[in-house]
Amino acid sequence: MTIKVGDKIPSVTLQQKTADGVSPVTTDELFKGKRVVLFAVPGAFTPTCSAKHLPSFVQHAADLKGKGVDSIACVSVNDAFVMDAWGKAQSADGKVAMLADGSAHFAKALGLDLDLMDKGLGMRSQRYAMVVKDGTVEKLFVEAPGKYEVSSAEYVMSQL
């Protein structure tokens, strides 16, 4: 079943690269007591994700925070090292937390996983953005296959 507005985010552990190595980040700690914009991409360093999706949130991080967002996070079915390198390449440090869902556990728990095995890409996440307030989905914007319209920072800001 796909997550919907009003649902609680499932408890899942993601990974994040820090100066001390790879650290676990639970969804409980990520969302507790905060309003967070979380967006997911099918893959780090992929064309639309690198040219448009992540850059939109890096560019508009301050604008989103000005609209009452405490933090912004990007999640992808990649490992923490890839997510860290991609974040550095996109100047996301201090603006967007780069989170790894390497085995797609979070994507599956949300019901937003995407099977791209026939294309040699394995299990991935659908492209989406959501606003989560204290662990509950406040707004959810899931893209149609192959689209990039409703999950951009600009669209999310227009809905806040």
Average of per-residue pLDDT across 41-66: 89
Domain ranges of the chain: 13-158
Averaged confidence pLDDT in the chain: 92
Phi first, then psi, for residue 95 (nearest 5°) are -115, -45
How does residue 38 score in pLDDT terms, banded at 50, 70 and 90? Answer: very high
The reported pLDDT for the residue numbered 145 is: 84
At residue 1 the predicted structure's pLDDT band, cuts being 50, 70 and 90, is confident
Categorize the per-residue pLDDT at 50 as very low, low, confident or very high, splitting at 50, 70 and 90. Answer: confident
- Asked whether the predicted pLDDT for residue 54 surpasses 90, the reply is yes
Q: What is the pLDDT, as a whole number, of residue 122?
A: 60
> Is there a catalytic annotation at residue 49?
yes
Instruction: Give the CA-trace dihedral at 42, 49, 144, 7, to 10 degrees.
Output: 60
Considering 25, 41, 49, 132, which one is annotated as catalytic? 49
CATH number for the domain formed by residue range(s) 13-158: 3.40.30.10
For the chain, give the percent of residues with pLDDT over 90.
79
Give the tens place of pLDDT for each residue, 84-139: 999 999 999 999 999 999 999 999 999 998 776 577 666 778 899 999 999 999 99
